[in-house]
Each structure stands twice: as C-alpha cells, then as structure tokens.
Amino acid sequence: MGTKRGSAAVVGPGEVEAPPVRRARGARMAVLLGPEQGVPSFITRRFLLSPGAYIPRHRHPTIEHEQVMVRGEMVIDLDGEERTVRAGDAIYIPAGCAHSYANRGATEVEFLCVVPVTTDYATEWLEEPPDGAAPA
C-alpha cells in the first residue's frame, strides 16, 4: 500500500477496521482511502448497515457526498424525500442536504461514500440517536 502523497494505493477489505458509527444503531464505517494512504483530496469510506440499522437525520453545511451502493437495499431520506436505493445505484448529497439511512431489510447493506478532505467537517444532527445507538 502506498503511503507517500500521490502514490498509488490498494487497500483490501480486511486491511482496515470498521468501528461503529457514533449516534447510529447497527452501522459501521471503515476509511479505505484518505490522507493516511497518500490520497490528498478525497476520503473513500465503506459503510456497513446491519438489518435494522439506522443513521439519524443529519447534514453537513459545507460537505457534499458521493455514494455508490455495493450490496443490499436501504431507504435514504434526502431533505424529507424517502428513496429506496439498491446495489449499483449512485447517490449525490449536496452540502446542506439533510439525510438519514435505514436498513429495513433482512440482509446487510454496503455502500461507499466519497467526501473531500477538509479540516472543517461539521455535522449538524437533526434527530436524537435511536435506541441501541453507539455512543456519541
């Protein structure tokens, strides 16, 4: 794996840990690529949502997201509009868009999320954590 700025990098699924997402129930996130791997401009994260998982409604005032569903099906709420997304779907979340994630199915969901590298990654939570959520 490359560690210098601008070096190529390959990260296998077992090479990074996926700790629980704070304030969420049944969700884990692993940082696959970012500054630690020599990637200067973007961070690629893998989210895993167990059946019944929920990431509460929140927004990022200055950060946009690009996401790709890898497997499973979930409901994403985008500014109050629920959309069902499946493996292969691509999602764009502009800065300031309120969003939440719910796995209402019986199988695990996996999606990738790409965000820009920034020193100002602010999250405004619009809901309280659900029962069984990881500590804030």
pTM score: 0.93
Range scoring the smallest mean pLDDT among 10-14, 67-71, 91-95: 10-14
Write down all domains in the chain, each with its CATH number in brackets.
Answer: 20-125 (2.60.120.10)
Give the model confidence (pLDDT) of 113-133 as tens digits: 999 999 889 999 999 999 999
Output the average pLDDT for the chain. 94
Cβ 4 vs Cβ 38: under 8 Å: yes
DSSP-assigned states of every residue in 35-97 = GGGT-SSEEEEEEEEEEEEEEEEEE-TT--EEEEEEESEEEEEETTEEEEEETT-EEEE-TT-
Closest by CA position to 34, among listed 26, 24, 44? 44
Residue 14's pLDDT is 87
CA separation for the pair 115, 69 (Å, rounded)? 15
Q: Which residues fall within 8 angstroms of residue 119, CB to CB, at 6 or more apart?
A: none
